[in-house]
Amino acid sequence: MTELAPRNHNNPPDPIDKIISTYDDSRSEAENWLDGEPVENEAQMKAVDDLRKAMRQMRLDLERGQKSAAAPLYDVYKAELARWKPTIEDAKRIEGGLVAAVDVFKRKLAEEKREAERLAWEAANKARRDAEAKAAAANAADIEAQREAAAAKEAAMEAERTAQAARKDQVKGMRSVTKYEITDYREFLHWVAKNDRDAITAFLDEYARKEHKAVANADGLRVWVEKEAF
């Protein structure tokens, strides 16, 4: 009787498992050393250094394996990005051109609408004041004065509706963009140092981290060399 082959017997071994299995003994021993207790003598130090070399080699093998396995997928990913990119860039180019074509006119129209809104509110406020004045002065027994006050009130309400409509009548496809310019770097630096000291500290910390070798003799900076395990 022919025995059936084990399930998944044709599947190749996982390269991760294959690499790790090569270092099983060293890995287990390394984990035994990682019990929270520090090394206390040279013999222990040598043993840990040897294990560290083995684990470093395991990491390098895993990184090479990762790169080898991912490279074909990454190449496909990059190729697909490159295939779409020219068409997307051209669409952006067309979109940008259309925005540029209407920019000057939209700015002019938006300014006109802002002025129209300002005038509408000015008229609405004047109508409201006139209506309030007529209402206050109208004799309750004078029907014509009461009718005139009522008409002024309705006119004021209509003027406000017109102003509200002007406020909503905005040019589409425009946005508010806040821009800035540093007019005096020294003065601005002093202002930031006074009002946002943490920002200056964060900048100096990052600058020192990146440039400490190049500016080792800078005032207020201490740079030194010491040995540490790696």
pLDDT digits (tens, 9 = 90+) for 22-65: 999 999 999 999 999 999 999 999 999 999 999 999 999 999 99
- Which two tokens mark 30? 């390394």
Work out how many domains the chain is built from and give that number.
1
For residue 211, being part of any structural domain is answered with yes
Look up residue 150 and give its two tokens.
């009522």
Q: Does residue 196 lie within any of the structural domains?
A: yes
Q: Does residue 123 contact residue 163 with C-beta atoms inside 8 Å?
A: yes
Site of tokens 């809104």: 117
pTM: 0.58
| Any domain includes 198 | yes
Q: Which domain holds residue 195?
A: 181-216
Q: What per-residue confidence (pLDDT) applies to 2? A: 43
- Tens of pLDDT, residue by residue over 109-165, are 999 999 999 999 999 999 999 999 988 988 889 898 899 989 999 999 999 999 999
pLDDT for the residue numbered 28: 94
Is 191 within the bounds of a domain?
yes
Whole-number Å distance between alpha carbons of 182 and 192: 12
pLDDT at 226 over 60: yes
Q: Which residue has the tokens 């004799």?
A: 139
Q: Give the closest residue to 156 by CA, choosing from 129, 128, 137.
A: 128
92 inside domain: no
